[in-house]
Structure 1
Amino acid sequence: MPRNRSILLLSAGHACVDVYQGAVASLVPFFVAERAYTYAAVSGIVLAASLLSSVAQPVFGALTDRRAMPWLLPMSTIAAGLGIALSGMSGSYALTLACVAVSGIGVAAYHPESARVARLAGKGSHSAMGWFSLGGNIGFALAPLMVTAVIATGGLRLSPLLMVPALAGSVLCLPVLRALEKATRTGAGSAAPTGTDDKVSFVKLSLAVVCRSITFVGLSTFLSFYARERTEGGTAAATAALFILYAGGGVGTIVGSRLANRWDRVAIVRVAYLTTVAAVAGVVFVPGPAIYVFVALTSIGLYVPFSLQVTLAQDYLPSRVGTASGITLGLTVSVGGLAGPLIGSLADATSLQKALMPLIVMPALSWLLCRGMPEPAVPARLAARPVADEESEHGPGAGVTREESAKAGP
């Protein structure tokens, strides 16, 4: 557990925002049950949350590269929660789409600036970014439990209660923003861009994360239905499958940040994607309760690279950290929702199993894209900084300089 208070608060705030990304997929079975939506219709809801987020994410990233906007953290958290809270209040499909779209914009506004702040608070540490990313994993994992506890009790009319995490998250980030403002006044929070951009590697990495996103969002949207179908279970089987998918991400994130202390991030990412191919195949083809084992393995495999991809993107694009963060944390994560309607339409026309089969190929494409990527150099402004305090907060290696760490591997 890190002793950096700002990273802890940012991680908790990240959980409060990403609970709303997970809430969209968690609400899908209830939309089907109460409103008789088809697979294609509910995948359109996921698309609404993803589409505006996908478009807005790089815009917010570019804006934060030009000017710091720390006030976006509490404001975007409220927007993310408000959209989900209102989504159950009207039976209108158009209004439901509009509400989840507002939530998607809130999520889009949050990630680039929060990743920039986390990079400053963690002094560029892979472990610090891992803890920050872990908060998002926890939020995803809690989403099905929260949504089921609230909506299964009184139906979609109780959706305003889902606003509570947003209110908590908006308060949690305030001490971090005050500390950042104080550090900026004293010059300790300076983050002038340094280093040379490797745009080719950044594009390859972004495409790899897009493929990852299609797998993850596709499973998030339809896993609850598929788990019930394969296990012949009810709502509990669906909720358990989503919880495992999201909770396994926390394990994968921690494992990934630990491995990055010993080996190159690119090598770790490649191995993770290659092993995920077999895990996704298990989810699609293995019947019965064993599906939960493969859901867990899939989740870990997809999340081992997660925080590493953020720091890789920031190091590939050191002059535009906000843009890099926005694309890897947001755009390429949410863009997977664009494939949702295709999967839903194929499921309506054939079967859910056949519709999920293409997801097996996506991690293989990610692996291929990562094969030619180099391990980026540590930016100069981080390489020269002693990390004794940072490592005492985030992991082993106290007293090692960034230059020595770079020589030994990330």
Structure 2
Amino acid sequence: GQSQVAPTAVTLRIQKAGQTTLTATCTTGADGTCDVAASAPAAWFGAADGVALVTAVAGDLETAPESVTLHGYVAPSSPSAGVALVLPLGPRRAGTSFTVPVTALTGGRELGAFDVSVTYDEALLEVTGVSLAASLADGVSNVLPGGTVKLVGVAGSGTAGPFEVGRVTFRVKAGAAATASAPIAGVVEDLLDPQSAPLVAKGTAMAGAGALVVADDPVRGIVATSTRAQLVDVEALTGAVVTSAIAVRAVRAALPDAVVTASATCAGAPGCVVGAGPTAGGRSVAVSYGGFSVGVPVRTWKPALPLTVTIADGTLERVAGWLDAACGSARFEDAAVVVEATFGDGAATFTGRVPVALESADVGVASVADGRVRGVAAGTTAVRAVGPGGEVLGEATVVVEDTEVAVLGLDVVVVTSVGVGAVPSGPAEDPTG
């Protein structure tokens, strides 16, 4: 009854007219799902929007193509002299990081020193790192309150632009609202040549300024899987309650997906744990989350009564010359007892052994222990399969006869280890007197 899917290779295929097809693969887990990702190369993007087709292939199975928009991009123009920022090309999700290079443009002249400020919206962004170019003769950076990063340095001899003076790494704050816009800009306080002549006017705005949009990461769908697709109901036989836990994953626009079982709703299954239910047969458990719904199939198998009790030897006789363990009475034969149940779902059946409790209807005639029945005295009785409440679920007759049977052979069990322990019979004496 446990749901298992053999590991299967799934290939993600991304196609764009006139371009080489991209592929990426993953292997499904026991629940039949896997995550796969692929990145489109820069050559796929132009000034105008484009379209790519995405298909998933598993063996002979193939999904219908889904279209993906490739947003167009036109690089901003840069001045001949000044400082330029390079912002991310697309939105970023809350909690993720990105890096903004800061580049000095010198108009063909040599760079001497610089003093620039990068400004950002500290309500949405936080600075996690600032680095300066290793080739600088000297440099210092500082993150100031109010959303400003200062970069000050002296270039090495012979440095000409464009020259990346440093980088600022930002992280979108975890609580940043989707679609919010965080401006990133900058001001050139000083950009000087080696003779301290200005390359641009003090207060010149940095090129490439813009806004980082906080990406929305909506739920695109849900995947629900159960630990057991088949529930064999043995509660009436053994008292054990059989359930199947449903796991719900939200598939989002960007990885990673998330397990949302605690927030999902499973109809008729509190906590998304499905019981066997009152009737046999198949049913679908409706699972919903984030406006999406799927059905999880579950099939219940119920036992038919009475159970079939089979005794390997229904006639037990006295063993000649043998006494019981207490050496007080004759030893009788014993035999294995097997209990089988037939389970049905309303359309099909199967039969299998069940570990139910056993008892003797008359312990003066026969005893039952560890799945075997042993004669006690001549007579007839029944070996019963009993439920958790003591109800009789099935039985078989056993006859104990006082006729003798001879022992034809013995099995030898070799002792492989012996342990010896000693306990003093009285108080220990002090050897020192």
TM-score range, shorter chain: under 0.3
Greater radius of gyration (CA): 2
> Which protein is richer in strand relative to its size?
2
Q: Normalising by the residue count of structure 1, what TM-score does the alignment of the two structures yield?
A: 0.17
Q: Normalising by the residue count of structure 2, what TM-score does the alignment of the two structures yield?
A: 0.17
> Which protein is richer in helix relative to its size?
1
Query: Relative contact order: is structure 1 or structure 2 higher (C-alpha 8 Å, sep ≥ 6)?
Result: 1
